Copies of this chain bind each other. A is one copy, B any other.
Amino acid sequence: MPLLRQMILEFAEFEKLAVSITEERLVRDGFGERPRFRALILEWEGKPAGHALYFPFYSSFEGEGIFLEDLYVREAFRGKGIGKAVMAEMARIAVREGVWALCWEVLDWNEPAIDFYRHLGASFMEDRKAVRLDGDALQKMAESGLPSR
């Protein structure tokens, strides 16, 4: 888990996003009573080369799917086909578990990633916006009143 967290921190730096996750929470959430995610540690000649992290999602229209939250290959290990091997492995997991889709998100400035996914035959859901309520806005919403009836 220290290694997984280290690679999560590297990935967040690459994506220019904040991280609050601790090793203790990753241990609890990955190996506790109700595991919240699964992860693959990628290796190249015995060295840790990146990670994949995923969890089940549910579409009310289509049923169970797998959401690939992270796919990270360390810089020194790029261009070796590792990303493609991981996507193939994730697709095998999805097919083996009988789910209808493998879904994920990509940042719109990450053109190499977008090209990579396009070449794999992935579809881009261009008509969807991701929305989030967190921090003070979530707290305020939770405290807002019920309607009059």
A interface residues, Cβ below 8 angstroms from B: 8, 11-12, 17-21, 25-26, 29, 36-37, 45, 53, 55-64, 67, 69-70, 80-82, 84-85, 87-88, 91-92, 94-95, 100-109, 114, 117, 120-134, 137-142, 144-149
Contact = CB atoms under 8 A, between A and B. Distances in A.
24 contacts: A11-B60, A20-B62, A21-B60, A36-B58, A60-B69, A81-B148, A82-B147, A88-B142, A88-B144, A88-B146, A91-B133, A92-B142, A95-B138, A101-B134, A103-B131, A103-B133, A104-B131, A106-B131, A108-B126, A120-B141, A122-B132, A123-B132, A124-B129, A125-B131
Copies in the complex: 2
Given A36-B58, A133-B122, A138 B91 contact: yes
Q: Is the interface of A mostly helix, strand, loop or mixed?
A: mixed
A11 to B, nearest CB: 8
A130 B103 contact: yes
